[in-house]
Amino acid sequence: MYTIRKTLKFEMSHQLFTSYSAACHETLHGHSYILELFLKSESVDDTGMLQDFGEIKDKINDYVNRWDHALVMPIMFSKKYLDTLKKYNKKVIITRYNPTAELMAEHMFFYIKKIIPLLCKVRLHETTTGWAEYEES
């Protein structure tokens, strides 16, 4: 079995609707995210690769750029608050889930899996000391 990993980086801010740490749900804050994609296959192609790293980046670069320098907010906040944020920020993403590293990793997994079928796991680093991953079962 062959496994490859492709890493991409993006900057993003968010506010959690609820969390253990007050700093995460009482204020907007940002992180330097690292997105790791893991692909597996029992074989390689005629070039000797599972998939070219450049091809992986090209296939999902637009998707990753949607998150870069975006403000991500869960829909659970009041409409008035979200509308105000959208009024003063050009790149706001409203999610149906609390944008934790765990749920973002799951969301990203299913989106990217449609584009890159060999994807088997997504690992999303929120900080240098903390990451979450989602993998197919």
Tokens standing for residue 16: 């959690």
Q: Which of 92, 101, 99, 96 is nearest to 123 (CA)?
A: 101
- At 137 the pLDDT is 84
- At 125 the pLDDT is 98
Domains of the chain: 2-135 (3.30.479.10)
Q: Which of 56, 48, 42 is nearest to 5 (CA)?
A: 56
- One DSSP character per residue, 34-49 reads EEEEEEEES---TTS-
Residues in the chain: 137
Tens-level pLDDT at each residue, the chain (137 residues): 999 999 999 999 999 999 999 999 999 999 999 999 999 999 999 999 999 999 999 999 999 999 999 999 999 999 999 999 999 999 999 999 999 999 999 999 999 999 999 999 999 999 999 999 999 88
Q: What is the pTM of this model?
A: 0.94
